[in-house]
Amino acid sequence: MYKFLVRPKWIGFHLLCVAAIVAMVSLAFWQLRRLDERQALNDRVAQNSTAAVVSFDEVTLADPDALVYRLVELSGSYLSEPQFEMVNLSQAGTTGSDPVNALQLADGSLVIINRGFLPAGSEVAPPPRGVVQVTGRLRKSQSGSTDQRVDDESEVINIRRINVPDLSDQFQQPVASMYVELLDSTPSDSSALQPVPLPEQSSGPHLSYAIQWFIFSVCVAIGWVFAVRKSARERRVT
């Protein structure tokens, strides 16, 4: 009755169904892994962002994943040049940019500081002069090109993201491998600047996507069963 299942046309159909099911199940488990990663990041952010502030000198940057959003304090003097500005950003429904400067520590090394969000239309103020005490969150260097472009009028270097190795090419001094999001400064920075908020603490759509892929794979299997039974029934009739 089912000898037709070994015909070339049906073998191709079987292989297509198996390939579809394997692909969909793989995508479902990939989404579950993404969910685990997201939950681990949420736990890390919650733990690090509420931990006691530590001195930047006491932090070893060898494991950036473990340190992301860790609260640190450091002191130094801002370099007046180069001045970076991370453009085309949005925060709380407002478009704007993030002024970015290098802070030189007592040992001469540099730390890239994201000074906060500046709403569009606000003038980019220079960072405070002299020795500055900074409190902020450690962040990993962002991947991808910075797409650096110099504004001809202001000579500010517009960037798309804070890729520390790329920005380091602008300096002679060694630059820390992680950057800092400014939360507080003494003396104070520009009042127009708003601290960058923590990322949303949600699990994202990964679980629902995984369930959808599992459902799709079951639908393919059920479709295969119906196709086989329908063909077998037609052959019995004829």
Per-residue pLDDT tens for 126-161?
899 999 999 999 999 998 887 778 776 666 888 999
Determine the average pLDDT of the residues in 27-55.
Answer: 90
Label residue 47 by pLDDT band (50, 70, 90): confident
Q: Looking at the structure, do residues 145 and 62 belong to the same domain, yes or no?
A: yes
Q: Looking at the structure, do residues 162 and 222 belong to the same domain, yes or no?
A: no
Q: Looking at the structure, do residues 165 and 73 belong to the same domain, yes or no?
A: yes
Instruction: Work out the angle between the directed axes of helices 206-237 and 8-50 (0-180°, nearest 10).
Output: 170
Q: Looking at the structure, do residues 139 and 174 belong to the same domain, yes or no?
A: yes
Determine the average pLDDT of the residues in 62-70.
Answer: 87
Q: Copy the structure tokens of residue 116.
A: 């906060």
Considering the domain boundaries, does residue 157 fall inside one? yes
Cis preceding linkage at 187, omega within 30: yes
Q: Between 229 and 31, where is the model more confident?
A: 31
Determine the average pLDDT of the residues in 70-86.
Answer: 93
Average pLDDT of every residue of the chain:
89
Cis preceding linkage at 127, omega within 30: no
Considering the domain boundaries, does residue 23 fall inside one? no
The whole-number pLDDT of residue 236 equals: 67
131-139 vs 179-186, strand pairing mode: antiparallel
Instruction: Look at the chain and report how many structural domains it folds into.
Output: 2
Q: Looking at the structure, do residues 144 and 177 belong to the same domain, yes or no?
A: yes
Whether pLDDT at 41 is above 80: yes
Q: Looking at the structure, do residues 223 and 170 belong to the same domain, yes or no?
A: no
Q: What is the CATH number of the domain that holds 99?
A: 2.40.50
Considering the domain boundaries, does residue 11 fall inside one? no
The neighbouring-strand residues paired with 96 are: 89, 119
Considering the domain boundaries, does residue 90 fall inside one? yes
Domain residues for 214? 210-238
Q: Looking at the structure, do residues 131 and 216 belong to the same domain, yes or no?
A: no
Whether pLDDT at 85 is above 70: yes
